[in-house]
Structure 1
Amino acid sequence: MRLDRAVALVALLAAGCSRPPAGPGAAAPAAAPPVTVVKVEKRPVKRVVEQPGAVHPFEETVLHARVGGYVQKLDADIGTRVTRDQVLAELAVPELEEEFKQKEALVRQADAEVTQAKKALAASAAGVAAAKAHVVEAEAGLGRAQAVYVRWQSEAERIGRLVAGGVIDTQTRDETLNQLKSAEAGRAEATAKVTSAGAAVAKADADRDKAAADVAAADARLDVARAGVRRTDALRAYTRIKAPFDGVVTRRTANTGDFVAADGRHGLFAVARLDPVRVVVNVPEADAGLVDAGTAVSVALPTAGAPVSGKVVRTSWALDPGSRTLRTEIDLPNPGGKVRPGMYVVAKLTAELPAEWAVPAAAVGKANDEPVVFLAEGGKAVRVAVQFHRGDAQHTQVRRYRRPGTADWTDFTGAESVAAPAAAVTDGQALP
């Protein structure tokens, strides 16, 4: 037995002597990182969401023909920088020009009818005045006839008394009665003339009212004719295809001489507004709640130099049902036009979360696919499962912890301390 031990000792010594010496450049074994104990404290954290995106025009409008016609002239092509209301193409529509001339002629005709109707109204007003003058004249004649009647009536009564007294003969009485009858007939005639003159006034009033209605109708026809001219002139304006805003023509599908229909199916041009541009980033569902208008963002364009700082301007608020992502848009100034639609970008969105109980990021480890931390209790490390919010490169916000063998969760209160880094700690290890 002693012999065997001696042989083994000799073998070990021989092996030690045969090991090659370490070279001068050999690295020393890596030392384990020191374990520290830190208090749980409330800290805000910054969450950085990095996602690819793409550049889009701020606006892009497809221009269609409003009236059918032939392309008479093209004034723009793809790549042409245009300003608002600049003419890009002109259409030839001869029948529309003829219709415009016809509408103008109808306006002149309606204007003449208004003049004619107004003159007829003036004549009717003069007729009313004349009829009223005839009424005055007839009433004056009636007054004279009434006076004559009264005179002969009084005379007839006087003569009758004289005849009864035997002063004069009956012949004089008969002549007086005849004069009375004549005066009575004259009075009746004058009364009829007054009635006739009144009827003439009523007719003149009716004629005047009709003439006024004719003037109103003529004015209405003139308004209709003018509206027709304006409508046709508006259609004529559509023969000039204009840019809706300052931008660049990105697509052209028409050629000189082409017939274009006003069916809205085929656009003649596409014009894009490129200052500013929209950067569109689709944020995953897990981070969608962190992004809102005003969120700080850094946009890196591989072909445009240094990253550009900006803010989120708008989001779709609702997630896309297919991709479960939130459409997020950032507006970037582009005065020189260096940034072009379709460019690839990488956007870093930084959201600052409110302060919560937090531990160093290195204090969170994993055991059995479950996040854990090591509480410092009684000078020893106690491994507990942990629930956390979010974190950044330095700190992780924690919510609750659960001790081994229990089902209840305990909220962090700030009285706890944890050991870090978790990778260098074992359950039950003595802590400094």
Structure 2
Amino acid sequence: MSQETIDLSPPPSRRSLGLPAFLGGAILAGLFFAGALPRWRAQAALRADTEELSVPRVTLISPAPTRREVGITLPAEIRPWQEASIIPRVTGYLKRWHVDIGTKVEAGQLLAEIDTPELDQELGRARALSAEADSRLELARSSAARWKELVKNATVSQQETEEKVNAVATGTSALEAARAEVRRLEELQSFRRLVAPFEGVVTVRRIDVGDMVSASAQKELFHLVQSKDLRVFVRVPQPSTSIVTNGQVATLTVPGLAGRAFRAQVVRTAGALESSSRTLLTELKVENSSGEILPGSYGQVRFESRGSGEHLSLPANAFLFRAEGPQVGVVDAQGKVSLRSVQLGRDFGTTIEIAGGVSAGDRVILNPSDSLVDGSQVRVAEPTPSGKAAP
């Protein structure tokens, strides 16, 4: 008879069976989290980047107080106080000239003489016609006197008498016309002598002996200038017109006269800006009795300002130029943009002077976007070395 072996060892407990299951679940969970965590981190980073990129990043700069030279220096055109082109009034041939370029002349001094044979003949004919008209008038007067006596005796008719009297009036008018023609030609003949209209210096002579001159050609024979006083013309830009007033004293400098400064006084302005250049034409007077300054020269005039030299300025790339005028974007402590209109002063190229609209403590956006609008939210970036960053 066989014997059966009976296993009398106790059965495995439930605790011993759960440990391997727990370890397996922990391993699976670890593997799951190990794979999902980088993805969650990538998604969180993407959301953060998206939110960051949705808010523009800007660089801020504050208006810088600058002290410029008080006043303005402008190019100037120097002209003589008086100048005249001597043009012939008669037709003929130049008989002789008495002055040349550089000659100082007095008012009324003879410059040249013109031979006018045709005009002389016209004048002789006019004088003969005047004498003929005078003779006819005398005959008409004597005839009228006789007819007045004869009409009293009814020897002649009243009609004939009135005709004789009217002939006297007609002859008088004809004589006056003939005499007027003589006076006109005599006055015209006086222009055979070319004389200086004022004291000055001859700067041009364009004629020589024997040359034909014509009244209709309007050819300049001499040019005369008076330079004891000079007219100086400058064009003042619109932003600087407030510093220019009648009677104001300015300083004139001329290339070639190094170290010399001449007193110039404003005598008048155009009173309106030229639409093409937006400048105010201004005339100044300069005393030049020594003759150091030559008319026609180029110079520079400096106007001194009566105001302060403290001004604010911003880089030229901080401005928005729109239909509303020049604007800047100012950012507050919460990063909110406020668009402000500003008044511009002088343009210095890289920087522009500000006459109003911002203060020294404002934080202004550098290189603002064209799409920038009022109320936009921005983030402040690190300052660039191109300018002074706002705090």
**TM class by shorter-chain length?**
0.5 to 0.7
Residues 367 and 271 from structure 1, CA distance in 2 versus in 1: closer, same or farther, beyond 3 angstroms?
closer
Offset of residue 304 of structure 1? 7.9
1:268-290 CA-to-partner distances (Å, cap 9, x unmatched) read 11111223211122334543565
Residues 365 and 219 from structure 1, CA distance in 2 versus in 1: closer, same or farther, beyond 3 angstroms?
closer
The one-letter code of the counterpart of 2:84 is T
CA distance in 1, matches of 2:258, 2:162: 79
Range with greater deviation from structure 2 (243-252 or 47-56):
47-56
1:113-153 CA-to-partner distances (Å, cap 9, x unmatched) read 1111111111111112223xxxxxxxxxxxxxxxxxxxxxx
The one-letter code of the counterpart of 1:319 is E
CA distance in 1, matches of 2:206, 2:309: 62
1:77-118 CA-to-partner distances (Å, cap 9, x unmatched) read 111112223221110012222221221222222112111111
**Aligned equivalent of 2:74:** 51
CA distance in 1, matches of 2:300, 2:225: 23
Where do 5+ consecutive residues of structure 1 fail to align? 1-44, 132-199, 373-383, 409-423
Structure with greater Cα Rg:
1
1:310-368 CA-to-partner distances (Å, cap 9, x unmatched) read 332234434273x6544332121223333211323221023446xxxx8944xx46479
**Aligned equivalent of 1:281:** 234
2:189 to 236, 244, 255: 236
Determine if the alignment matches structure 1 residue 100 to structure 2 residue 93.
no
Determine if the alignment matches structure 1 residue 313 to structure 2 residue 267.
yes
The one-letter code of the counterpart of 1:272 is V
Q: CA RMSD in A?
A: 4.1
**Aligned equivalent of 1:350:** 304
TM-score (norm: length of structure 1): 0.56
The one-letter code of the counterpart of 1:100 is L
**Aligned equivalent of 1:14:** none
Where do 5+ consecutive residues of structure 2 fail to align? 1-67, 320-327, 329-338, 347-352, 366-372, 376-386
Contact persistence 1:296–1:351 (CA under 8 A): no
**Aligned equivalent of 1:270:** 223
Aligned pairs, how many?
A: 287
Contact persistence 1:314–1:329 (CA under 8 A): yes
Offset of residue 254 of structure 1? 0.6
User: Looking at both structures, which has the greater relative contact order when contacts are Cα pairs under 8 Å and sequence separation is at least 6?
Assistant: 1
TM-score (norm: length of structure 2): 0.61
Contact persistence 1:103–1:229 (CA under 8 A): yes
The one-letter code of the counterpart of 2:140 is A
Determine if the alignment matches structure 1 residue 76 to structure 2 residue 31.
no
In proportion to residue count, which structure has more helix? 1
**Aligned equivalent of 2:134:** 111
Residues 296 and 336 from structure 1, CA distance in 2 versus in 1: closer, same or farther, beyond 3 angstroms?
closer
**Aligned equivalent of 1:60:** 83
Residues 125 and 292 from structure 1, CA distance in 2 versus in 1: closer, same or farther, beyond 3 angstroms?
same
Give secondary structure in 2 for the equivalent of 1:238: helix
Determine if the alignment matches structure 1 residue 223 to structure 2 residue 176.
yes
% identity of equivalent residues: 29
The one-letter code of the counterpart of 1:210 is E
1:185-204 CA-to-partner distances (Å, cap 9, x unmatched) read xxxxxxxxxxxxxxx5xx44
Matches within 5 A, 1:11-410: 48-131=71-154, 203-288=156-241, 290-291=243-244, 293-302=246-255, 303=257, 306-316=260-270, 317-319=272-274, 321=276, 325-352=279-306, 360-361=310-311, 364=312, 366=314, 369-370=317-318, 387=342, 390=345, 398-401=356-359, 407=374
